[in-house]
Structure formats: structure tokens, C-alpha cells
């Protein structure tokens, strides 16, 4: 019954899609879409894949017709391409793809259907179409976002600027996108990617995947992982440095794989070079540790990177280190370690995950009988339930064969591979034995040539910028299969276009980043009207609503207010220290997955943030000239809503509302009219706080003197005392504390805490 319901859902989806096209005056259904909706779902995913999957009976006898299940990225296109390649093969004038399931020739699966069946009609129609494939113009139902209200260019720029470089857009940038629209927006976004702050964000984005910032935690932690024979200065020389210098050297070593990514992206090299680079990159600090003179223009600038080729000491002699980008980085090798029994399989699994967009464990997601493996001397190769994964993992594991099982980055050129395991290689290609000495480089060249590499890069950017994981193909028995399939197809269409642009631009990652930023998945703001239940599912993953990470929120606080939320004793940012984990962040060690939903504890952190940042900035703002204030430029301490007689003061009220309008724009990114309900609500809050405060002052419940932490006495960023003439300790009109309450209200708003 489940399969029949799914078939009906797929057929209905195809008809609904055609109807939607006709409603727009476009009745085009491409051959690929026909395959997806009419052939793959109702027929091949039901009748064929059980034998023709990579681990099926057909694959075991080397059948050409292999169907990838949905766990493989790009499986639909791969299957479609395979069918196109085999469509011309015939048996007695009948296409072999029909002759076999009709039982006209030998078929391990036997006869599956007759010529008058629906399955036969669908496959025959597809084969007929493949003789003259139908190509449709862009804008079909798969990527129909007409029901989504997207951010305009100015709001998109604000969101992207805060996310990428931790600042608000300049007036000049906003003027450019207001005049030039999306075309100019794309250019301005590209310019943001040249700023140093962007590369700090890029490091965080890829560290969420590589987790090598684990080695930043302790001074010397990364350096201690280096082989003393290869890097003699990692011992006594390093330990003789002062603590600050040791921290800088350690950070340079720990971030070497992330710095390589930054170097490739900044120089607009093909992103494939993160694996194929026959070099590493060093900063002045790591170069000194390696005892290399690379000609840095500023020996104190950790951002300055130079390419270098290292060597290893083997039997007292220097041998070239087989650089293969991040694959051979000591930090990567240590973060994904091996053991004598694991034999690099953990590393191979992460090669699939990080660089081929493939969760290898999902491919053979099935219960395994542990007793069955005892029937085989070598279950990894001989037990089908084991070999389905091992025949993919073990060859890639062999690419790391020359590294020690104990000292993870130690090179052992004479080490031999395990003969009982699958031979080193990639896919169906076996690595020649004369390439074993440069096995990581051999593997890297194959990985970057695989179409999944580009997809993995785009997936990384998409997840980093939107906070969402790419959708997976829905389960066959899902009751809401049709809308979930539509959601998957919509996202797949968008990401496929970004991949195509990325590859066409010589794997320039900046192209992929701008593509994601310009997409509805980053810009979606709301639904344009009432959504049906199916459309609610189809569009659920589109647009904003991402909880800001601690790092992003810390940068946003400074960008909006001009002050950082810091500890008084060492000026370290709270969101990067005390509250990083409490607010859902990671330490790249034991906590490696970010929280994406606000918890009660996180809510308390957000409440403290709002209170303490408002406390630190409000009085300080009034110590500055009006033209230097970010938050309160339109008011003074004497702008009071009511006069001495208790009557309203219209001129003062206008100024107060003008400043409230400014705050909504700066803090929340809202463009509101002065008479909008939201401005009126915020003004009412200000007025009520001020009125109650004045009454408390009059009754003696409160005094004029403010809390010591909230007084305008120091620069909040440096804790250096202000000149005595600027300092503010009292609030006789209760205006400072009323404005403080307004800021607490705005800093607590969903639009401030979320993207």
C-alpha cells in the first residue's frame, strides 16, 4: 500500500507540475523532469534498484546498468546519464532496457512487466524522448519561488554584510544597490569578499567541517603534534618563547589547513587547489617555527601567507613531503586519526563526507547480522553486507598508507599496504604501485575531477551561509512525499545552477558564495500570501530564521552598537569565551555540532546580553558628540516627552520618534514610517519607562545616580576612563535609563538575535 500511495503521489505531482506550467502559459516538461517524475519514482526506484544498486546482484556480475540510490549526491542526474548512455543498446530491435524486464532475453531479475503495463509505457516514452530530448527554459516548477517574498537588494546587502564581514553596509554601497538592483548587488557582494574580515568568517565556516580549531585551545597544543625530527624547533626552541608568541605560533600551525583555503579563495585560484596544492602555506610565525625564510613584508602580520614546500626526515635524510593540500596537513591528519585496526578508514569516510558530499554510512543503511560475518575469513571483502561500504572506503584509505598509525603525520615511505584489503584506488580505478609514494596526490587529482567535489564545495558554502543542511531525497514511504520531493527538487535546481556557475568560473569559490547569497534560500523573508499545506512543506527551508552563532552575534553587536560585549578584566568577548558553548557554539573538540534552536539557557544568555550591552552603551553614547553616535544621534538628555506642566512637548516627541526610527533601522534593519504602529509601540515603551522613572525619582524609590557599570565613565571597548569633562554619572531626567530600556527591548528582538 505504501508503494502504491507513493506512485499515486508521484503521478499527481507530475500532473500538478504540468498544470502549474500551463497556468503560466508554459507546458514544457523536459526529458529529465519526465524521467524524475514518471520513470524514476514510480518504476525504477521500485522495481529495478533492488538488483541494480551498487551493491545489488546485477552489480556483482558487472552489469552496465547501475542505479544509484538517493543517498548518493547527484543520484538522479547520474542515473539519467546512465540510462541515456544505454538507451541505444538493443536486443532483436527492442531496447535492452525494455527487453530484459519484458523477459525477451536473459535477465537475472526475471520478467517484471508486460507490454500493456504502465511501467512499460513510462520507460518506452522516456526512451522515445531520448532520441530527441526536450530541453525547457529556466523557470519551471522545480524552482518556482513566486510565493516567496525576498529581501530587496538593500536588505540583502545588510544581511550579507553583517554575516560576511561583520559590519553594516556603507551609505555608498547602499546607494549603489538602490540604483543598480540585483546586478549591482552581486558586484558589491563580490567586493566584500576581498576584505580581511571575510577570511575570518571563511575560516569559521570551514572549521565547522574540519574542526581543526580544536588545536587552538592550549598554547602549544598544535605544535606538540608536529614530529620533532621533521620540525626540530617544535621542542626546546618553541618552549623558550614567551606565552604570547607561543600562542601566535601555535595558532598559525593549528590553522594551516584553513589558511590554505583562505589563500586559494583570496587569490581566486581554482578551489580544487585545496587538495591538489603541492605546497602548504605559512605565516611569519609558522615559517619561523619551520626555520624557513620566505621574505614576509611584515613579520608580525599573521594574515600574510607564503607558499612553502616542506620535507620530512627519513633515516636521517631529507625527503620531499607529499603535499596534497589539506589532505596531508598535520592538523587534518591528527583531527581525523587512524589506528592499526582502523587503517585509515576514518580518514576515507571524511574524504567522502568533506570533499565528495557523500555520507558513506547512508549508502548501505541496513541492519547487519554480526554473526553472519563469522562465516567469512575476510568479511570486509567477502560478506556483501560489509563489502558494500568497504569496496568504496578501503581504496581511498590506501591513499594514506605512508603515514604512521601512531604519529599521525609521520611519513614512512617504505611502509606497505595491507594485501587483504582492497587495493588503493578511487572508484573502479586501481592506483598503480609506482604511485604509492605520492598516493595522497594521486587521490587528490581523482577527487577534484569527480563531479561531487564541486557539489561538496557548494554544500559547504550553502550550509555555512544559511545554517541549513541541504535537503535529502524524501523517504519512499513518507506520507507527504510529493511536497517533500518538490522541496528537494526546488533546492536541487538552485544548487545545481550554482554548481554549474562555480565550475564554469574555474572553481572560483567566490562565485559559489555570491550564488548562495543571491538565492531565495538566503534572501527569502516571508510568504507572499496564504500557503497550502503542500506549499508550506515545499518552501519551509527557504529564507531566514537562522539563529546567529556566538561568533556572528559578537560581530553584529559591535557592528550595530560600536562596542563589544567584553569581560572587564581581560576585554575578551563574552560570546567567544564564557558563553560560546552556552549559546550553542562548538569547541571543535568534544562539542562539534551547533545548536540551531534557542534553549532556555540560551534565552537567559540573550537576556543578559541585551541588558549588559544596553547598560554599557547608553550613557556612553551621550558622552560623545551627536555626529559620532551610532544609536542616539537625534536626541539629547533634555529631550523630554512632557514639559514641567505635564503637557506634551511635540518638538521633543518628534525627535524621540525620529531616533526610535533610526534605532529600528540600525538595530533590526527595519525601514518604518514615523507613524507606523511599531514606532508607536516603541515610543510607548520609552514614555512609560520615563514616566515611571520620574515618579520613582520624585518618591525616592530611585536616585539620580546610575549603576556604576552603566555610568558613562569609560570607553566600553578598552575600559579606559574618559576625560572627566565627558563623564556622566547621574540621570536626573531619567532619559538615559528610559533609552536603556528601549535598547534592551530591541537587543532582545528576534530580528537582532536571528538572521
Domain boundaries, the chain: 2-138, 152-198+451-538, 209-330, 336-441, 550-753
CB 271 within 8 A of CB 320: no
pLDDT at residue number 15:
32
Nearest to 275 by CA among 159, 392, 354, 366: 354
pLDDT at residue number 81:
92
CB 576 within 8 A of CB 554: yes
Q: First and final CA of the chain: distance in angstroms?
A: 43
What number of helices (H) and strands (E) belong to the chain? 32, 10
DSSP assignment of 186-249 = HHHHHHHTTSHHHHHHHHHHHHHHH-GGGGGSSTTTTGGGS-TTT-GGGTHHHHTS-HHHHHHH
Q: Please state, in angstroms and rounded to a whole number, the distance separating the CA atoms of residues 336 and 401.
A: 14
Which contacts (CB < 8 Å, 24+ apart) does range 635-640 have? 635/659, 635/735, 635/739, 637/731, 637/733, 637/735, 637/736, 638/733, 638/735, 639/735, 640/690, 640/733, 640/735
**In three state form, how does the secondary structure of 575-587 look?**
HHCCCCCCCCCCC
Distances in Å between the Cα of 232 and the Cα atoms of 158, 223, 257, 284 are 48, 11, 21, 17
pLDDT at residue number 74:
84
Alpha carbons within 13 A on the beta-carbon side of 243 = 1
Distances in Å between the Cα of 567 and the Cα atoms of 166, 573, 574, 624 are 20, 6, 6, 23
pLDDT at residue number 141:
58
Structure letter (DSSP) for residue 365: -
Distances in Å between the Cα of 235 and the Cα atoms of 22, 121, 227, 286, 301 are 72, 73, 10, 14, 24
Give every CB contact of residue 470 below 8 A, 6+ residues apart in sequence: 459, 462, 463, 491, 495
Residues of the chain with confidence (pLDDT) below 50 = 1-25, 139
pLDDT at residue number 366:
58
646: left (phi over 0), alpha (psi -120 to 50) or beta: left
CB 111 within 8 A of CB 105: no
Q: 0.85 cut: is pTM over it? A: yes
Structure letter (DSSP) for residue 372: G
Q: Please state, in angstroms and rounded to a whole number, the distance separating the CA atoms of residues 522 and 491.
A: 12
Nearest to 520 by CA among 537, 502, 496, 544: 544
* 281 strand-pairing partners: 307
Q: Which three cell numbers stand for residue 561?
A: 552598537
Q: Reduce the DSSP state of residue 271 to 3 states and report it.
A: coil
Q: Look up cell 578551489; give the residue.
A: 271
Distances in Å between the Cα of 13 and the Cα atoms of 41, 128, 214 are 11, 22, 47
What letters, b where the CB count within 10 A reaches 16 and e where it falls short, cover 304-333? Answer: ebbeeebebbeeeeeeebbbbbbbbbbbbb
Count of CB atoms situated within 10 Å of the CB of 338: 20
pLDDT at residue number 19:
32
Q: Please state, in angstroms and rounded to a whole number, the distance separating the CA atoms of residues 595 and 436.
A: 42
Q: Please state, in angstroms and rounded to a whole number, the distance separating the CA atoms of residues 251 and 240.
A: 17
Q: Reduce the DSSP state of residue 545 to 3 states and report it.
A: coil
323: left (phi over 0), alpha (psi -120 to 50) or beta: beta
Nearest to 218 by CA among 588, 595, 593: 588
pLDDT at residue number 383:
72
Helices (H), 102-195: 118-131, 153-165, 171-192
Structure letter (DSSP) for residue 411: B
- Which secondary-structure segment (H or E) carries 312? strand 311-314
Report pLDDT digits (tens) over 511-554.
Answer: 999 999 999 999 999 999 899 999 999 999 898 789 999 999 99
DSSP assignment of 4-65 = HHHHHHHHHHHHHHHHHHHHTT-----HHHHIIIIIIIIIIIIIIHHHHSTTSHHHHTT-S-
* 308 strand-pairing partners: 280
What letters, b where the CB count within 10 A reaches 16 and e where it falls short, cover 240-278? Answer: ebeeeebbbbbbbbbbbbbbbbbbbbbebbebbbbbbbb
344: left (phi over 0), alpha (psi -120 to 50) or beta: left
Report pLDDT digits (tens) over 200-253.
Answer: 999 999 999 999 999 998 778 999 999 999 999 999 999 999 999 999 999 999
Q: Please state, in angstroms and rounded to a whole number, the distance separating the CA atoms of residues 115 and 565.
A: 72
Considering Cα of 237, then 242, then 248, then 254, what sign does the dihedral take?
A: positive
Structure letter (DSSP) for residue 705: B
Amino acid at each position: 500500500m505504501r508503494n502504491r500511495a507513493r506512485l499515486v503521489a508521484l503521478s499527481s505531482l507530475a500532473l500538478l507540475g504540468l498544470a502549474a506550467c500551463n497556468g503560466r502559459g508554459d507546458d514544457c516538461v523536459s526529458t529529465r523532469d519526465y524521467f524524475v517524475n514518471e520513470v524514476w519514482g514510480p518504476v525504477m526506484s521500485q522495481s529495478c534498484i533492488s538488483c541494480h544498486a551498487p551493491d545489488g546482484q546485477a552489480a556483482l556480475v558487472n552489469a552496465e546498468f547501475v542505479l544509484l540510490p538517493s543517498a548518493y549526491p547527484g543520484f538522479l542526474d547520474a542515473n539519467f546519464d546512465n540510462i541515456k548512455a544505454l538507451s541505444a543498446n538493443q536486443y532483436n530491435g527492442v531496447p535492452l532496457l525494455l527487453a530484459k524486464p519484458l523477459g525477451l532475453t536473459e535477465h537475472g531479475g526475471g520478467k517484471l512487466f508486460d507490454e500493456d503495463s504502465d511501467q512499460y509505457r513510462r520507460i518506452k516514452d522516456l526512451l522515445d524522448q531520448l532520441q530527441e530530448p526536450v530541453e525547457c527554459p529556466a523557470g519551471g516548477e522545480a524552482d518556482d519561488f513566486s510565493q516567496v517574498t525576498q529581501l530587496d537588494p538593500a536588505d540583502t546587502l545588510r544581511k550579507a554584510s553583517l554575516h560576511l564581514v561583520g559590519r553594516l553596509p556603507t551609505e555608498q554601497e547602499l546607494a549603489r544597490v538602490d540604483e543598480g538592483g540585483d546586478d549591482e548587488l552581486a558586484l558589491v557582494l563580490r567586493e566584500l569578499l576581498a576584505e580581511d574580515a571575510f577570511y575570518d568568517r571563511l575560516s569559521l565556516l570551514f572549521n565547522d567541517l574540519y574542526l581543526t580549531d580544536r588545536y587552538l585551545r592550549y598554547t602549544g597544543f598544535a605544535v606538540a603534534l608536529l614530529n620533532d625530527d621533521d620540525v626540530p624547533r617544535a621542542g626546546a626552541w618553541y618552549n623558550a618563547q614567551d606565552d604570547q608568541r607561543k600562542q601566535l605560533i601555535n595558532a598559525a600551525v593549528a590553522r594551516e589547513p584553513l589558511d590554505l583555503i583562505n589563500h586559494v579563495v583570496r587569490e581566486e585560484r581554482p578551489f580544487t587547489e585545496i587538495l591538489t596544492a603541492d605546497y602548504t602555506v605559512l605565516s611569519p610565525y609558522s615559517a619561523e617555527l619551520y626555520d624557513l625564510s620566505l621574505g614576509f613584508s611584515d613579520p608580525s602580520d599573521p594574515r600574510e601567507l607564503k607558499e612553502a614546500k616542506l620535507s620530512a626526515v627519513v633515516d636521517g635524510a631529507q625527503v620531499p613531503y607529499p603535499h596534497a593540500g589539506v589532505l596531508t596537513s598535520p592538523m587534518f591528519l591528527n583531527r581525523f586519526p587512524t589506528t592499526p585496526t582502523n587503517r585509515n578508514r576514518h580518514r576515507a569516510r571524511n574524504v567522502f563526507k568533506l570533499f565528495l558530499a557523500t555520507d558513506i554510512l547512508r549508502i548501505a543503511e541496513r541492519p547487519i547480522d554480526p554473526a553472519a560475518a563469522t562465516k567469512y575469513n575476510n568479511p570486509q571483502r567477502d560478506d556483501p553486507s560489509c563489502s558494500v561500504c568497504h569496496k568504496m572506503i578501503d581504496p581511498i584509505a590506501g591513499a594514506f598508507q605512508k603515514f604512521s598509525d601512531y604519529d599521525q603525520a609521520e611519513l614512512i615511505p617504505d611502509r606497505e599496504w595491507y594485501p587483504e584489503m582492497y587495493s588503493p584506488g578511487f572508484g573502479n580505478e586501481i592506483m598503480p604501485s609506482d604511485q604509492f609514494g605520492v598516493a595522497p596526490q594521486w587521490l587528490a587529482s581523482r577527487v577534484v575531477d569527480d563531479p561531487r567535489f564541486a557539489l561538496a564545495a557548494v554544500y559547504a558554502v550553502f550550509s555555512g551561509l544559511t545554517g541549513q543542511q541541504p535537503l535529502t531525497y524524501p523517504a519512499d514511504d513518507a506520507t507527504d512525499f510529493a511536497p517533500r520531493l518538490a522541496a528537494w527538487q526546488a533546492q536541487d535546481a538552485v544548487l545545481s545552477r550554482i554548481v554549474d556557475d562555480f565550475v564554469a568560473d574555474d572553481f572560483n569559490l567566490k562565485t559559489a558564495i555570491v550564488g548562495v547569497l543571491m538565492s531565495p534560500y538566503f534572501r527569502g523573508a516571508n510568504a507572499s500570501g496564504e500557503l497550502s499545506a503542500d506549499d508550506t512543506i515545499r518552501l519551509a527551508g527557504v529564507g531566514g530564521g537562522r539563529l546567529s552563532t556566538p561568533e556572528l552575534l559578537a560581530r553584529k553587536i559591535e557592528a550595530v552598537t560600536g562596542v563589544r560585549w567584553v569581560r572587564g578584566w581581560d576585554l575578551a568577548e563574552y560570546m567567544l569565551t564564557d558563553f560560546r558553548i552556552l549559546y550553542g557554539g562548538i569547541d571543535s573538540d568534544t562539542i562539534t555540532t551547533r545548536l540551531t534552536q534557542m534553549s532556555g539557557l540560551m534565552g537567559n544568555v540573550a537576556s543578559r546580553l541585551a541588558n549588559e550591552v544596553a547598560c554599557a552603551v547608553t550613557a556612553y553614547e551621550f558622552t560623545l558628540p551627536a555626529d559620532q553616535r551610532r544609536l542616539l544621534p537625534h536626541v539629547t538628555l533634555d529631550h523630554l516627552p512632557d514639559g514641567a506642566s505635564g503637557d506634551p512637548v511635540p518638538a521633543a516627541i518628534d525627535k524621540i520618534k525620529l531616533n526610535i526610527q533610526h534605532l529600528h533601522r540600525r538595530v533590526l534593519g527595519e525601514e518604518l514610517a514615523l507613524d507606523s504602529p511599531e514606532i508607536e509601540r516603541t515610543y510607548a515603551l520609552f514614555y512609560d519607562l520615563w514616566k515611571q522613572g520620574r515618579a520613582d525619582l520624585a518618591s525616592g524609590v530611585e536616585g539620580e545616580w546610575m549603576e556604576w557599570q552603566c555610568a558613562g565613565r569609560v570607553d566600553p571597548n578598552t575600559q579606559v576612563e574618559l576625560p572627566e569633562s565627558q563623564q556622566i554619572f547621574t540621570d536626573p531626567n531619567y532619559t538615559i535609563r528610559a533609552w536603556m530600556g528601549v535598547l534592551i527591548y530591541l537587543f532582545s528582538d528576534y530580528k537582532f538575535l536571528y538572521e
